[in-house]
Amino acid sequence: MSPGEETRRHARTRWVAAAVIGGSVLLIAVLIALVMTVLAPGGAGNGSAEAPSSAEISPITPSRSAPAASGPSSSASELPTPPELGTPAATEPRQAQWIDEQAGTIRVHTFGSSSCPAQFESVEVIAADEIMVHFSTDYGQTPCTMDYVATEHEVTVPSDAPGRPLLVSTNLRNSGALSTLSQ
């Protein structure tokens, strides 16, 4: 056998070995993926059809205008209409609510991080029927969580603002939100 033939034979052997190793790695990867799919919660081989926990289910309350569901429907007119933009959903707290109108106490909600909630600073009377509630969100270099929750603040309305309905504005990070309070 000449040196050229031996080199070609070794090269062929290396290609065959590389193809066998590559195919084996691919086969092992497919088997691992199959096993992970079967063993995963709710996987094909799990054999149990667990109901989702109550934390995973959002209750849906049909609107008064929507008829009771009796099965699949092809009519879009039977679907409840979403609230108008800017209108809080029934489950969301309003930005401001009266706690005790005689005592002049309101509840103001701010939204943001649960670990760095807005801190009440002051109430500014804009007009007899309008106030601005100022909040601070300066936590410096403190890390805050990336969740979004409501924080409740009890605020006393100054006697300089006896007008009703009362327009309540909040000043939080240079963005304002408005809410009108009436009896």
Query: Across the chain, what does the average pLDDT equal?
Result: 74
Q: How confident is the model at residue 44 (pLDDT cuts 50, 70, 90)?
A: low
Least confident stretch, 30-39, 121-130, 142-151:
30-39
Six-digit token string for 87: 């209108």
Residue 60 pLDDT = 37
Three-class secondary structure of residue 50 per DSSP? coil
What is the CA 160 to chain-centroid distance, rounded? 39
- The yes-or-no verdict on residue 21 having pLDDT over 80 is yes
**pTM beyond 0.85, yes or no:** no
Residue 8 pLDDT = 73
Residue 137 pLDDT = 83
Angle subtended at Cα 159 by Cα 169 and Cα 164, rounded to the nearest 5 degrees? 55
